Chain A
Amino acid sequence: MTFFDKFLRIRELGILTIIIVFVVVASIIDPRFLTFDSWRAVFMAIPLILVMAMGQMMVIICRHVDISIGSILAFAAIAIGLIFIEYPNTPLWVAIIITAFVGAIMGLINGIIVTKFNVHSIIVTLGTLSLYRGLVFIVSGGRQIDRNDIPLSIISFSQTSFLFSIPSILITSTIIVLITHYMMRHTIIGREIYATGSNPVAAHLKGINVTKITLFVFTLCGMLSGIAGLFYASRFGYVNPGVTGVGIEFIVIAGVIIGGTSITGGSGSVLGTFLGILLLGIINVALPVLNIPGGYQKAIYGVIIVAALALDQLIIYRMKKLRSLKNV
């Protein structure tokens, strides 16, 4: 295999091309887009989404989907907020463990309903999306967690750090992304997740415990969404029962799919998902910089998502053709 051949086999090439083209075009229209502040905004926006996307990616590779993640995020955020009110001295690491645990339980419940009652995950998580949101209101009594309820150590988590003043939230999410990559690429359970999504019948025949794998991915997805709840509290400095995490599943799922994860299961990569989320982050920051009126931003955001999906398919198709031409 020549270097060029190998290059053409990289699945993430499509999305990478789109990112580069978008950045170049945006910078030509308005050079302000290339400033440090814009990119700081991009990289401050994505850690939360990225962490959730890691879990969602595993679920989608496994032929499922979890649309309750926004409510899981909100519940974990409210829960930790209430704990902060009672115990203002809760250390960061304890807060992470608590939110991870709360999220994991909620994800596990999703997984149990999906596997035990054999209901499609869209229906199950559509139900728990509403159920968990309801719990948020019940537990909080509808009250918002305010900035002065959240300990300073938590707020500074998303602002400073020990390392070149790169915010700790970015470092933490990078670590989570790298661990996910290692797990999916190099461990037995990672490959079994791919196998289960690729062909569940064959997976069962090969002795893979499909139920266990399904529970595992839902639990991890919930856990990471729970941790994202802490990120939210840290970064935005408030948790509102009716606002926090609402509609976030749309961005996360869109990013995962744009990143090349197949909704029919079996394929997808951490690198692709990262690029998908990065693209959405860049667009989100670019639209206001490019002076697009607020009212249009959402519509244009949607158009770009659809265009990116179509373009990605086109690029993949062209690459395949180029490859087969070379092989003849």
Chain B
Amino acid sequence: MKLATKNIGKTFSGVNVLRNVDFELEPGEVHALVGENGAGKSTFVKILSGVYTPTEGQILLNDSSIDITSPIVAQNQGVTLIHQEPQSFSHLTVAENIFMGHMEGSNFSRIKWSDIILESNKILNSIGLQIDPRNIMEGLSIADQQMIEIAGALSKNSKVLIMDEPTSPLTPNEVSKLFKIVNQLKKSGMAIIFISHRLEEIRLISDRVTIFRDGDKIITKKINEVSNEEIIKFMIGRDLKKTEVSENNYIKNKKIILDVKNLTLQSKFQDISFELHKGEILGFAGLVGAGRTEVAKSIFGSELFDSGEIFFKGEKINNYSPNESIKKGFAYVPEDRKQMGIFGSVAVEDNMTSAIPKIISNLFGVINKKRVSSLSNEYIKKFDIALTSGRQLIEELSGGNQQKCIISKWLLSKPSILILDEPTRGVDVGVKSEMYEIIKKLSEAGTSIILISSELPEILSLAHRIVVMREGRISKILNHSDATQEIIMQNAIN
């Protein structure tokens, strides 16, 4: 079956995340989609599979226009999405997982178990999977669950399979098994869309590649007519004007404040070693899922790690907990502002002073309201936070202003190490540049900053050094003068 789109676009609450995508998928083709996080490829496949409905444009199946309004409509048309994290029913049998939702009969008809098991066996055999369909799903590996999702798609006679980063949870052995099946399906005429960040895999399995950037489809190329370097160029776009990152006096002294050695958390990150200097902004680049947030949380003590050591000002840290870290002068501004950064239905003032309970209270733990107001007002003025009064609830503020409050909260605790995890996500351009000024001033004042960001321009314009992570490991540590978007990207993917 031939699948095509014309002028597909998607707008979320006024934000245009996908624009004018023309795309073609031939039967018997494996078509790879690549792009940075947020480039629009996931939105695009969600539209094809009925999870989202497009704001504009049309989808064509065998040259006739169709409306895909739900995942079920898509599946009935023969288009099935295989999720990155398999969506399975762990309490039910393999056969039920394959046939759930499209068993023959009405609500109260008796299920023909023998037919379903026979059919399941046939399909599982056809993709070379040795599993008894009567087994319970629970306990099967992610790879097997993925195969069973594919088997489910086959049982519905799907003609288009969309695989969203299917290989990221798999071991190399499982990947080659998956590719064998993909090749086999391709021979039988299945059209396959394959999303991956690993360029070798794309080279190995796909016929054509389409590159997305910032909500636009950039280009479609035959895979053997394009080099990895070219693909990366298309992904990051035009050359960025290189900005100078000013060195401050602290940097020249290279005084090590934090020394992380061989930090490992099985299944999340391995062998992480780096130094952080006084007054330094250390950027952490990499794709979402590379393990940057997990490393930050482990250093801050909110998550445990298996092995490795951390030295703070030359002394080994033995006791890990957020409480201990805050006492030492660590501060962590999390990525997920709503869940982890703010106390939503609490006043701005109280949010801002929540990390310094000792300072705002007397001997008996009674809070001095005047001190709360005066301390928070100082930062409300300094950062120009837009609000009606300090007693306003923080959840009523805009995202950018909330973020300023969170940073103020930590600055009030006078941290020596500030960890910022995607600090400018979801804030507008104006607040962004204000935030950059704040970060720069802090480093000039001697605060060491770990800056996790998926936006390369942000990292390149702020960080003195850049740690690039890939799949749980540090792939490269770059000095600002050596770093370019291309080099960072090359180390972040592959």
Interface residues of chain A, those whose CB is within 8 Å of chain B, are 183, 186-189, 191-192, 194-195, 197-199, 201-208, 262, 266-267
Contact = CB atoms under 8 A, between A and B. Distances in A.
A186 B110 contact: yes
A199 to B, nearest CB: 5
B96 A195 contact: yes
Contacts of A205: 71, 87
Interface of B: 71-72, 75, 87-92, 96, 100-103, 105-111, 113
Contact of B90 (A186, A188, A199, A206): A199
B92 A202 contact: no
Given A188-B105, A191-B100, A207-B72, A202 B110 contact: no
A191 B101 contact: no
A191 B105 CA distance: 13
Contact of A187 (B88, B100, B109): B109
17 contacts: A183-B108, A187-B108, A188-B107, A188-B108, A194-B91, A194-B92, A195-B92, A198-B89, A199-B90, A202-B88, A203-B89, A203-B101, A205-B87, A206-B101, A207-B101, A207-B102, A267-B91
A84 to B, nearest CB: 33
Nearest to B76: A207
A187 B107 contact: yes
A188 B109 contact: yes
Given A188-B107, A188-B109, A199 B101 contact: no
Contacts, number: 66
A201 B100 CA distance: 13
Contacts of B102: 206-207
Given A195-B100, A208-B101, A266 B71 contact: no
Contacts of B101: 203, 206-208
A268 to B, nearest CB: 9
A186 B111 contact: yes
A183 B110 CA distance: 8
B27 to A, nearest CB: 24
B89 A195 contact: yes
A262 B113 CA distance: 24
A176 to B, nearest CB: 16
Contacts of B91: 194, 197-198, 262, 266-267
Nearest to A205: B71
> What 9 A-B pairs come out closest when comparing CB atoms?
A206-B101, A202-B87, A266-B91, A207-B72, A198-B89, A189-B107, A207-B101, A198-B91, A267-B91
B105 A199 contact: no
A198 B100 CA distance: 12
